[in-house]
Each structure stands twice: as structure tokens, then as C-alpha cells.
Amino acid sequence: MSPVSARPSAVSSRIARTADALAQAGAVAEADLRKLRHDPWEPVMRMVQPALWLLIFGQVLARTRGIPTGGVSYVAFLAPGILAQRVLFVAIFYGVSLIWERDLGIVNKYLVSPAPRAALVLGRALASGVRGISQAAVVYVLAAWLGVPVRWTVGAVAGVVLMVMLGAAVFSTFSLIVACIVKTRERFMGIGQVLTMPLFFASDAIYPVALMPGWLQGVAACNPLTYQVDALRSLVVGNVPGSSGLALDFGIQVAALALLTGVATRLYPRIVD
């Protein structure tokens, strides 16, 4: 075959491989989401936490009127933060399912298949993203019920869905990396607990970054959660003074996801060692 004709075929085979990998990632996600369908109580149980934060923490703190929220009520300020928090908490423990499935021998099945490792990692991120959306629905309903002026435009809701999926993908892939390193459920749960609260408090989920001491502001600036909250706040209630802007918010998630996926792809096969 001459080099001239070889070129387009190389391109088309690359396209075919990418299409295969995406379909394979879809299959991994589908397996996970079908389980959710068999166990519909899981999302219901997960409604309790955001309800407590918004109904109790939000209502009480709103009375102090000590937190500058840029012209919106504290509950309106808090709702997107709690949405991001729920996505974080669900995603950060996602890696434990990999350890669980490794112990059952299910991960072996994926690893002996011809699917690229990156597709296996992205499939799990995708499933985590869809799980995150159920959290978003809960927070939206609660927020609307509490009188938060939620923006219902198509653009805003689509933006929220996209950011929730990206946020869940970022933290679930991070969680996958932790799982591949620590390898046992006990150690993983310990580390998960240690990671979540600092990530949560070093973000603008429940108070603006401007209120933090300088060193903590530095940490918050490196925390993807800060940018998730920023984007969600702009999209859900609008009007965020000092916003970093949606372009930066989304850009940081995409960059973080690309970096984490690269690392997770390398570490993934080690889970069965």
C-alpha cells in the first residue's frame, strides 16, 4: 500500500478505535448503572444528608446574617455548595467499589477484555457522573421548596448537569487512584474520611473564599471543588461576586480529569496484583 493511501486508513482506524473505546466505556458505566436500577433505595437514602444540611445547618446559619453572600439569602448561597458537597461525598468513596469488585474477581473480567484501560477508567467516571445527577435533582427540589430563586433556563440546567458529571468524574477518578494504591477496604475508608472534610472546608461550599485566612485561600485556589461550587453557584442562582468565570471553572475540571485519568489508567491494572 502506498503511503498516500495508508494515511486516511490510519486516521479511520484511529477513529474506529476511539469509537470502540467510547462504547466500551459506555458498557462499563452501564453495568454499574443497571445495579442502581436493581437497588432503587440507594438514591433515596442519599437524600437524607443534603436535606439535613439545607434544612438545619442552612436555616440556623441564615439567622446569624454574618456571612456575606452577595445579595442572595444564605440558603440560596448554600444550596449549590451542598450540591457540590454531595457530588464530592458520593464520588470520593466510589473507589471502594473497585476494591470490592476486585475481591469478587469482577475486575479481572474487565482486565482480560481487549478494552483499553482508559476506557475502563472513564466508564467508571461516567457512571459516577450519572449517580451525581440524582443528587443534583434532590438538591434542586429541596432548594426550590425552601424558596431559593433557582434558575430553570435550559442553558443553566444543562450547565449544572455537565458540571455535576465532570465534578463526579474528577473525584471518582481520584478515588480510583487511591483505591489502586491502598488496595484494601479498611485503609481506603480511613483515607476517604481524611480527604473529604479538608476538600470540603477548603472550598467556598459553605462560606465565601474571601472569609478564609490567607493560607487557606491558597489551598482553596488549588481545589477543584472551589471551581465546581463557583460554576454551580453561577448556574443555579446567578450573581456571584468575585466569580472566577465559567470558562476557567470548566477548564480546570477538564484538565484535572485528563490528568487523573492518565494516572488512573496506569495504576488500574495494579489493583489485581
Partner 1 sequence: MNEPAIALRALTRRFGSLVAVDRVDLSIGAGAIFGLRGTNGAGKTTVMKMLATLLAPTSGTALVAGYDILHQPVDVRRHIGYVSQMLSADGELSGRENLLVPAKLYRIPRSERARRMREALHFMDLEGVADRLVRHYSGGMVRRLEIAQAMLHRPPVLFLDEPTVGLDPAARHGVWQRIRQLRDENGTTILMTTHDMDEAETLCEELAFMHLGTLVAQGTPAGLKARQGSGATLDDVFIALTGASIREREDFRNVARVRKTFSRIE
**Which residue, 16 or 144, is less far from partner 1 as judged by CB?**
16
Q: Angle of helix 224-236 relative to helix 246-267, nearest 10 degrees?
A: 140
Which DSSP symbol is given to 184?
A: S
Q: Where are the alpha helices (DSSP H) in 146-268?
A: 154-182, 185-201, 214-221, 224-236, 246-267
Question: Closer CB to partner 1, residue 53 or residue 110?
Answer: 110
Task: Judge contact between 131 and 45, C-beta under 8 A.
Answer: no
Shortest separation between residue 184's beta carbon and partner 1, angstroms: 10
Measured from the CB of residue 101, what is the shortest distance to partner 1 in angstroms?
8
Contacts of residue 147, defined as CB under 8 A and 6 or more positions apart, other chains included, come to 73, 75
Instruction: Tell me the three state secondary structure of residue 245.
Output: coil
| Residue from 78, 191, 72, 87 nearest 129 by CA | 87
Count CB neighbours of 162 within 10 A.
15
Residue 117 or 151: the one with the smaller Cβ distance to partner 1 is 117
C-beta closer to partner 1: residue 79 or 119 = 119
Residue number with CB closer to partner 1 (3 or 114): 114
Least distance from partner 1 to the Cβ atom of residue 31, Å: 5
The whole-angstrom separation of Cα 7 and Cα 22 is 23
Q: Helix, strand, coil shares of the chain as percentages rounded to 5?
A: 80, 0, 20
CA distance 237 to 51: 18
Instruction: Provide the minimum distance between the beta carbon of 94 and partner 1 in the complex, in angstroms, as a whole number.
Output: 15
> Which of 9/108 has CB closer to partner 1?
108
Q: How far is the CB of 269 from partner 1 (least distance, A)?
A: 7
Residue 23 C-beta: closest distance to partner 1, Å: 7
Contact set with partner 1 (CB under 8 A): 20, 23-24, 26-28, 30-31, 34-35, 38-39, 101, 103-106, 108-116, 269, 272-273
